[in-house]
Amino acid sequence: MLESICVYCGSNFGDRNSYLEAAQGLGIEMAERGITLVYGGGNVGLMEAVADSVLAAGGKVIGVIPQALIDKEVAHTGLSNLRVVSSMHERKLLMVDLADAFIALPGGLGTLEEFCEVATWTQLGFHRKACGLKCNRSCVTNIDERF
């Protein structure tokens, strides 16, 4: 049984309402199933939306954030548990350790990098945790349009 899921997502809302709806819907579903959210600890964009929806539905949220981002005042201060680390690398490692599975919502290059790394670790056999993408038709964007 899954006890925690790490969700990778954007620090912005993106340009489609469906991105926000996907983040909020996932957060509510996780809380209803008693699954703890592990995420990057931010109070911005889809990161904030998924965390707030888990909390509003009575769920637990663990944020993992580097000190440098706290210094920029982007830490979510209303979480069940906020873990402060020294680097982005340490952040990613701790998030992997804390989660039983991984889901990527829409985001930018950071979201893509984090998800690709953890999916590669699965492929290489470093862990046996499930990885998935939460999207709908309107979330899929041609890479040529994006960059």
Q: pLDDT for 69-80, tens place per residue? A: 999 989 999 999
How high does pLDDT run on average in the chain? Answer: 90
Scanning the structure block, which residue is given the tokens 């996780």? 30
Structural domains of the chain, count: 1
Spatial neighbors of 119 by CB under 8 A, at least 6 apart, are 102, 131
pLDDT of residue 134: 78
Strand order in the sheet with 4-8: 81-85, 61-66, 36-39, 4-8, 101-104, 130-133
pTM of the model: 0.90
**Which CA distances in Å does 42 have to 69, 142, 146?**
8, 27, 23
Residue 40's CATH number? 3.40.50.450
Tokens of 104: 């990527």
pLDDT of residue 65: 97
User: Whose structure tokens read 């707030």?
Assistant: 52
The model's pLDDT over 87-145, given as tens digits with 9 standing for 90+, comes to: 999 999 999 999 999 999 999 999 999 999 999 999 999 999 999 887 665 444 444 44
Residue 74 · residue 49 · CB < 8 Å:
no
- What are the C-alpha distances in Å from 34 to residues 1, 13, 57, 58, 140? 10, 25, 10, 9, 29
Q: Which domain holds residue 64?
A: 4-146
